[in-house]
């Protein structure tokens, strides 16, 4: 049975599912199998990046899937080392060749890299690539309010999406508020905390809520994110987990339980030392 998701409408009119599928570390034949399985389960938004070295894997899964291309949204990301205008345009074209696609539904600047200070130039390239028809919607990832304000001031164009680290240990309340006020949809990367040693799926409050709602810990977290108005992109290689991560639209967390999860967040809750104010990724 194919699972259906609810949708968000972005400020430019693009309709996106409320849950997408992350593909970091899904490479080669195993990656194709995992992504094909995700499409079979019902995922319709695939998140990739040049830096994941798997745009070919994603394209191959789409080619093998029985789901028509136009029913799938594919989102990729421009790496830090390609933020000069001409490099960015060439990279977007190469991303398309690698994936075997004619267009991307979404393309994001992966990190602002403020020390390199080329993100406005990269944004101008994304605006042009959208005009050329290579990309339907343009967005960013890991952008702080100051970076977003600068994009608007210098180009007049705000991103429609901002993909940031967001899980119960780091719930991004201020960034979400800013994004909402500027009609930007917040996407959650590592929505399940990447199952690190400090595993948020085992947090006692999350485990208690899973018992209360007769759901898995992952489903509680993903449901919390969608009730916050956020779009999580969980990754899983296992079909049963892929299915449960999408199957969150038939229950609702109470206001009190939402508040309980919101209270887990802490200022130093990032998985790694990746504050976009100074982190640079190439
Ligand atoms: N823009 C950016 O800078 C970044 C973007 N991303 C994007 O976000 C996506 C998701 O983040 P990611 O870092 O992969 O981490 P996630 O938070 O999605 O966690 C993935 C891990 O959780 C496990 N898992 C998945 N579902 C469940 C479940 N229901 N119960 C228990 N364990 C589960 C997976 O194991 P298994 O596979 O064995 O099921 C895997 O080990 C990435 O794949 C990528 O597309 C990620 C990081 C940064
Ligand atoms: O996975 C991504 O999209 C990244 O931007 C990486 O920085 C990731 O967060 C990572 O941890 C790489 O080791």
User: How many Å lie between the centroid of ligand 1 and the Cα of residue 128?
Assistant: 31
Binding site members: 110
* Run of H or E residues at 255: helix 255-262
A 10 A CB-CB count for 282 gives: 12
The CA-based diameter of the chain, rounded to the nearest angstrom, is 54
**Digit-coded pLDDT (tens) for 84-104:** 999 999 999 999 999 999 999
pLDDT at position 197 = 66
Q: Say if CB 175 and CB 161 are below 8 A apart.
A: no
User: Residue of the nearest CA to atom 12 in ligand 1?
Assistant: 190
Q: Decide whether any atom of ligand 1 lies within 6 Å of the 193 Cβ.
A: yes
When divided into structural domains, the chain yields a total of 1
User: Residue of the nearest CA to atom 13 in ligand 1?
Assistant: 190
E-assigned strands of 114-189? 135-141, 161-165, 185-189
Q: Using CA atoms, how far apart are residues 93 and 211, in angstroms rounded to an integer?
A: 48
Whole-model pTM: value is: 0.98
What are the φ/ψ torsions at residue 110 (nearest 5 degrees)? -65, -50
What are the φ/ψ torsions at residue 230 (nearest 5 degrees)? -105, 155
Flag whether 277 is in a domain.
no
Contacts of residue 43, defined as CB under 8 A and 6 or more positions apart, other chains included, come to 17, 19, 20, 21, 242, 246
Q: 159, 151, 97, 74: which is closest to 119 by C-alpha?
A: 151
User: Residue of the nearest CA to atom 48 in ligand 1?
Assistant: 189
pLDDT at position 2 = 84
User: How many Å lie between the centroid of ligand 2 and the Cα of residue 3?
Assistant: 28
Ligand 2 proximal residues by C-beta, below 6 Å: 24, 49, 110, 272, 281
User: How many Å lie between the centroid of ligand 1 and the Cα of residue 154?
Assistant: 34
Q: Say if CB 168 and CB 224 are below 8 A apart.
A: yes
Flag whether 47 is in a domain.
yes
ipTM over 0.90: yes
Flag whether 124 is in a domain.
yes
Active site (annotated) includes residue 103: no
Exposed/middle/buried for 280, CB within 10 Å: 0-12, 13-18, 19+? middle
CATH code of 256's domain:
3.20.20.100
Tens-binned pLDDT, residue by residue, of the chain (282 aa): 788 889 999 999 999 999 999 999 999 999 999 999 999 999 999 999 999 999 999 999 999 999 999 999 999 999 999 999 999 999 999 999 999 999 999 999 999 999 999 999 999 999 999 999 999 999 999 999 999 999 999 999 999 999 999 999 999 999 999 999 999 999 999 999 997 667 999 999 999 999 999 999 999 999 999 999 999 999 999 999 999 999 999 999 999 999 999 999 999 999 999 999 999 999
Owning domain of residue 116: 7-262
Closest listed ligand to the CA of 163:
1
Flag whether 275 is in a domain.
no
Give 162-175 as a DSSP string: EEEE-BTTB--HHH
User: Distances from the Cα of 153 to the Cαs of 86, 156, 185, 255, 256, in angstroms?
Assistant: 22, 6, 19, 37, 39
Flag whether 273 is in a domain.
no
User: Residue of the nearest CA to atom 39 in ligand 1?
Assistant: 236
What angle do helix axes 255-262 and 217-227 make, rounded to 10 degrees? 100
Flag whether 282 is in a domain.
no
Tell me 264's DSSP state. T
Flag whether 280 is in a domain.
no
Q: Using CA atoms, how far apart are residues 260 and 262, in angstroms rounded to an integer?
A: 6
Identify which of 22, 53, 141 to mutate to test ligand 1's pocket (most ligand atoms within 8 A of the CB).
22
Q: Say if CB 171 and CB 196 are below 8 A apart.
A: no
Identify which of 19, 24, 38 to mutate to test ligand 1's pocket (most ligand atoms within 8 A of the CB).
24
User: How many Å lie between the centroid of ligand 2 and the Cα of residue 51?
Assistant: 8
What ligand 1 atom has the least distance to the C-alpha of 245?
A: 29
Beta-bridge partners for 170? 167
pLDDT at position 218 = 97
Tokens of 84: 């000069």
Flag whether 150 is in a domain.
yes
Q: Using CA atoms, how far apart are residues 205 and 181, in angstroms rounded to an integer?
A: 30
Q: Decide whether any atom of ligand 1 lies within 6 Å of the 190 Cβ.
A: yes
What ligand 2 atom has the least distance to the C-alpha of 111?
A: 5
- Given the residues 52, 107, 119, 169, select the one marked as catalytic: 52
């Amino acid at each position: 049975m194919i699972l259906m998701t609810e949708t968000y409408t972005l400020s430019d009119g693009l309709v996106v599912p409320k849950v997408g599928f992350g593909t970091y570390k899904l490479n080669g034949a195993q990656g194709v199998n995992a992504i094909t399985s995700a499409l079979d389960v019902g995922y319709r938004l695939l998140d990739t990046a040049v830096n994941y070295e798997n745009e070919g894997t994603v394209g191959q899964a789409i080619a093998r899937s029985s789901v028509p291309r136009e029913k799938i949204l594919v989102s990729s990301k421009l790496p830090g080392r390609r933020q000069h205008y001409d490099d960015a345009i060439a990279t977007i074209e190469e991303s398309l060749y690698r994936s075997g696609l004619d267009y991307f539904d979404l393309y994001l600047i992966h990190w602002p890299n403020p020390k390199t200070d080329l993100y406005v130039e990269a944004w101008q390239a994304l605006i042009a690539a959208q005009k050329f028809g290579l990309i339907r919607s343009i967005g960013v990832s890991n952008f702080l309010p100051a970076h977003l304000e600068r994009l608007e001031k210098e180009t007049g164009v705000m991103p429609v999406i901002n993909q940031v680290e967001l899980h119960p240990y780091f719930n991004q309340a201020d960034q979400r508020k800013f994004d909402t006020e500027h009609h930007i949809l917040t996407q959650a990367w590592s929505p399940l905390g990447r199952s690190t040693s400090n595993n948020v799926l085992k947090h006692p409050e999350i485990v208690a809520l899973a018992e209360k709602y007769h759901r898995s810990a992952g489903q509680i977290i993903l449901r919390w994110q969608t009730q916050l108005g956020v779009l999580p992109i969980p990754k899983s290689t296992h079909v049963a987990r892929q299915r449960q991560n999408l199957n969150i639209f038939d229950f609702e967390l109470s206001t009190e339980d939402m508040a309980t999860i919101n209270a887990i967040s802490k200022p130093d809750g990032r998985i790694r030392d990746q504050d976009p104010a100074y982190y640079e990724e190439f």
